[in-house]
Amino acid sequence: MTENKHLSIIVASYRSERTIEACLMSLERQQVEFDYEIIVVHTSDDSTPELIKEKFPQVILFSFKERKSIGEARNFAITKACGEIIAIIDADCTVDSTWAANVVKAHELKYLAIGGAVANGNPYSYVGWGQYFCEFSAWMPCKDSKMMSNIPTASISYKHEVFKKCGLFVEDTYCEDTEFHWRLSSSGHYLFFTPLIVVYHHNRENLADFLKHMFMLGMAFARWRLTKWRYPLITRSVYSAFSPLIPVRLLLRIVFINCTNRIYFPHFVKALPLLFLGLISWSLGELISYITGSRH
Domain boundaries, the chain: 5-201, 207-292
Nearest to 176 by CA among 224, 137, 214: 224
pLDDT of residue 3: 57
pTM: 0.93
Over residues 194-231, the pLDDT tens digits come to: 999 999 999 999 999 999 999 999 999 898 888 877 78
- Look up residue 149 and give its DSSP letter: S
pLDDT score recorded for residue 255: 98
The domain covering 5-201 belongs, at the CATH homologous superfamily level, to Spore Coat Polysaccharide Biosynthesis Protein SpsA; Chain A (3.90.550.10)
Given a cut of 70, the residues of the chain with pLDDT beneath it are: 1-4, 296
Please report the pLDDT score of residue 296 as a whole number. Answer: 62
Q: What is the C-alpha to C-alpha distance for residues 197 and 99, in angstroms, rounded to an integer?
A: 6
Q: b/e per residue, 105-125, with b = 16+ CB within 10 A?
A: ebbeeebbbbbbbbbbbbeeb
Q: Coil, strand or helix: which one is 7?
A: strand
- Give Cα 222 distance to the centre of its chain: 17
